[in-house]
Amino acid sequence: MQSVELKGLRLYMVKLEEGDRLPQALAGLASSLGADVVYVVGIGGLRKARIAVFDSVRTIYRYVDVQPLEGHVLEVIALSGNVVCGDGECKPHIHVAVARRPDEVYAGHLVEAVVSPFLELFALAGITDKAKVMELFGARWRLRTSYEPLAEN
């Protein structure tokens, strides 16, 4: 196990607005806060979402596009993850669980989403040893992630 200490921790309440795009808005948040690392948790709603799970056999992410029922939004039951900044860029790694209906839930790696009507977040931002962060999380900059649609059963 490896770890790095965060210093100068600051806690923010953040409200993302209608039409904001994820995960780009979270990368922008980390950058605007001047943080090296930001941990986020949240709830709210989405107009649409692309969610993926890793297929370890094919070593790719398999995704599903989730749309709400007409006249509804996707309820974000849980959103959590982090944004790591280094080499002049902030890289989010976010997981999400959304409900389309009370008995229909989708969960996994958040590839992209559009906020509707809003998303409420708590963001814990800190600074740390950038070299250590790049050692621990540098794979985010090296990986060439590919996404393929989830096969219909």
Whether 1 is in a domain gets the answer no
User: How much is the mean pLDDT over the chain?
Assistant: 90
Copy the structure tokens of residue 123.
């963001």
Containing structural domain, residue 69: 9-146
Whether 123 is in a domain gets the answer yes
Domain with residue 133: its CATH number is: 3.30.1330.80
Whether 2 is in a domain gets the answer no
Whether 151 is in a domain gets the answer no
Whether 152 is in a domain gets the answer no
Whether 115 is in a domain gets the answer yes
CA pair distance 2, 32, nearest whole angstrom: 27
Q: What is the pLDDT of residues 40-71, one digit of tens each?
A: 999 999 999 999 998 888 888 899 999 999 99
Q: What is the pLDDT of residues 64-78, one digit of tens each?
A: 999 999 999 999 999
Whether 4 is in a domain gets the answer no
Q: What are phi and psi of 106, to 5 degrees?
A: -120, 140
Q: Is the dihedral of CA 125, 106, 74, 50 positive or negative?
A: positive
Whether 3 is in a domain gets the answer no
Looking at the 3D structure of the chain, how many domains does it have?
1
Copy the structure tokens of residue 66.
């989730």
Q: Using DSSP bridges, classify how beta strands 37-55 and 147-149 pair: parallel, antiparallel or unpaired.
A: unpaired
Positions of E strands within 25-73? 37-55, 60-66
